[in-house]
Amino acid sequence: MLTDTGVSRTKFMTSRDESSLMAAENETKTDRAEFRKEFENPRELFKNLNEHFYRRYSEVDDSDEFWEYMAKPLRQSVRINTLKGELKDILDLLKENYGDVFTRVPWCREGYFVRDDVSISGSSIEHQLGLIFFQEASSMIPPVVLGVKAESSILDVAAAPGAKTTQIAQYVENDALIVANDVKYSRINILISNLQRCSAVAHVTMCDGRRFRKYPEAFDYVLLDAPCSNAGMARKNYRYAKLWSLREVQSLSRLQKQLILAAYETLKRGGTLVYSTCTLDPLENEEVVDHLLSNTDAEVEKVRVAKGVEPVTEFEGREYSDEVKKCLRIHPQCNDTEGFFVAKIVKPL
């Protein structure tokens, strides 16, 4: 593996500090249970966590079902790594060790939900050997939609921690030029560790993703799983809702627009770009795609690999191109997953 860290170490703009993020990752099941016990009504729960968050996303989806699923614990899901063995053999091993507790993720052949009464830990031998990757089910969609082929050039603009990069590597069976980039040294270390654990081959670079516009039409495929406000991850950890702020959404939206233009610039004619986020905010989703359409000759292709809701074409007085209706907007109640957004974009010949 080639590791190239001699490029710029410019950080992505974000107002959330690292200590808050670390705290958010450490929420326990006990914390969640205590929240749920105190606030049996999901709406009251989120109002208590962050009333601005509740008001904002009530404008996006004010159904009771939406808030009920936002409050529910997230199902565990894993992706089997076929770089380490045959899918059936690894699945049989998992069933031997944990029982018949796996249900296939409909949109990903290698993805499986784990039954709620069973939990596979990060210290499990299957994880340590790279046979499985812990990956939220909706997060498996972008590499599937990207449709990569062997002997091609592929860029993952914001790759860490490496879930989607390793998924791409297994789809091309390590027979492609994969550039896995991220902006921060600590995240690069995690990315390299996961690539090595999964036997995935990629060239690792560290730079601000906006710099790739200096390399026009260099890649056949580009994945931009953009840094976002993580609003769709609130059911995984309530602190994502508690820490949420509109100012950060607005700042990230500006960054995402710059990143998607850079990603499109470095895409070859006839190539495919997938833009994805784990947020629910139109400013970070439909508005970013609309910005690309308004400033380039990009074309959007329909994504319907999973159940979704109608994408947003008007929000807070802003009107977006009807082309954004081809994107996939997933709310938690659609498939019992996190909230997610996926757009498939092609650069015409």
What residues are annotated to the active site?
278
Q: Which residues pair with 78 in a beta bridge?
A: 112, 134
- CA 240-345-154 angle, to 5 degrees, is 85
Q: Which of 182, 339, 234, 237 is nearest to 22 (CA)?
A: 237
The 3-class SS string of 111-149 reads: EEEECCCCCCCCCCHHHHCCCEEECCHHHHHHHHHHCCC
DSSP letters along 8-52, please? --PPPP--S-HHHHHHHHT--HHHHHHHHHH--SHHHHHHHH-HH
Q: Which of 195, 192, 170, 194 is nearest to 90 (CA)?
A: 170
End-to-end alpha carbon distance in the chain: 33
Pairing mode, if any, of strands 153-156 and 219-225?
parallel
39-55 burial, b for 16+ CB within 10 Å, e for fewer?
beebbebbbebbeebbe
Amino acid letter, residue 247? R
DSSP letters along 294-339, please? HHS--EEE---SS--BPPPSEETTEE--GGGGGSEEE-HHHHTS--
Pairing mode, if any, of strands 132-134 and 77-80?
antiparallel
